[in-house]
Copies of this chain bind each other. A is one copy, B any other.
Amino acid sequence: MSATPIPTPDLTPPDIVRCAFMEVVVTDLAASRAFYVDVLGLVVTEESDTEVYLRTFEEFIHHNLVLRQGPVAAVASLAYRVRTPEDVDRAQAYYEAMGCRTERRATGFVRGVGDSVRVEDPLGFPYEFFYEVDHVERLAWRYDLYNPGALVRLDHFNQVTPDVPRGLAYMEALGFRVTEDIEDSDGIVYAAWMRRKDTVHDTALTGGNGPRVHHIAFATHEKHNIIHICDKLGALRLSDRIERGPGRHGVSNAFYLYLLDPDGHRVEIYTQDYYTGDPDNPVVKWDVHDNQRRDWWGNPVVPSWYTEASLVLDLDGNVRAVEVREEPTELAVTVGADGFSYTREGDMEKGFKLGNTL
């Protein structure tokens, strides 16, 4: 798969506004609802015995996350909002021109969404494009409902794919713009971040066995909101749901936390990256050996963060097979017997921060 470049259709791609929602299959809906609603405080727009529709406090569309009961934990859709109804047509035509399977539903795949197309994208991900969506109350001013760790926006997706440059070429043709990446001096790209809206990313490609979904990220207003989520997980004796962080990213400059939901789907809580909306927004390139790229404070990245991710479904609802990354992994080149990281470029010694996990 990764040997062949992805063809670029000679068509206008859809005008993508932003990442809008993810549909996630969970194996125990009650347990997942407890995590996302009772612990994280997402707002329930509506729900049934088999589905829960959730949104953030500043959202005005029907949902940012759909939990659906199912037999195997997986991601069923990474959905983007497009600028006009016609952009759904453009999306369908564009993916069909790439030879991708598509499915169009005038009344949507999930509640609250109208005319929509789902595709099996060239990287194997279930992408979705829609314009029509129910509006609901934007709860931004409803401070009587806020919790101390209030999630206010969906910020981004993060996808795992074996060949990052191959994926990037396709995404850039689709209209995404790279804001930051992680490379090495041999030109191997380990990860890249790309945007449609004015933030560091709407999605990122992380090099690894894929197609898999690395995480979905929600934004808070301030850093103390994220700290509260950790404190609350401690109070609930659920601290083992904290996989990594909190910390400051090098990439994106955001303050972050990674959690694992009851099925192991990864959720990032994220705040305070920077504006990227200018056409010549400078791309920030990080050396894979820079120990501050993933955590600005040099705190170690737990290995599971590199290796684990969520499976994805095809349009029939079957789990997609995972292709192995052939290039070196970021984990391998940065830690362990063959890895190397530095705090200060040129330093020959490894800092204790590197050693403490191995």
Contacts and interface: CB of A to CB of B under 8 A. Distances in A.
| Chain A interface SS verdict (over half) | loop
B234 A298 contact: yes
Contact of A231 (B143, B231, B299): B143
Contacts of A228: 143, 146
A274 B138 contact: yes
B239 A343 contact: yes
A17 B197 contact: no
Tell me the number of copies of this protein: 4
Contacts of A238: 343
Interface in A149-206: 150, 152-153, 197-198
Contact of A230 (B221, B227, B248, B282): B248
A116 to B, nearest CB: 16
A6 interface: no
Interface string A62-101: 0000000000000000000101100000000000000000
Contact of A141 (B221, B230, B296, B344): B296
A235 interface: yes
Nearest to A61: B278
Contacts of A253: 140-141
Contacts of A223: 222-224, 227
Contact of A197 (B144, B198, B231, B296): B198
Interface stretch (A23-31, A47-55, A350-358): A350-358
Contact of A353 (B138, B147, B242): B242
A148 interface: yes
Interface string A127-147: 000000001001011111111
Nearest to A150: B148
Contacts of A146: 148, 228, 231-232
A255 interface: yes
Given A224-B223, A227-B255, A298-B240, A248 B277 contact: no
A263 to B, nearest CB: 15
14 contacts: A140-B274, A141-B234, A143-B148, A143-B232, A197-B275, A197-B277, A227-B255, A230-B296, A231-B297, A233-B297, A234-B292, A240-B351, A240-B352, A302-B352
Interface of A: 17-18, 58, 60-61, 81, 83-84, 135, 138, 140-148, 150, 152-153, 197-198, 221-224, 227-228, 230-240, 242-243, 246, 248, 250, 253, 255, 272, 274-275, 277-282, 291-292, 296-300, 302-304, 343-344, 351-353, 356-357
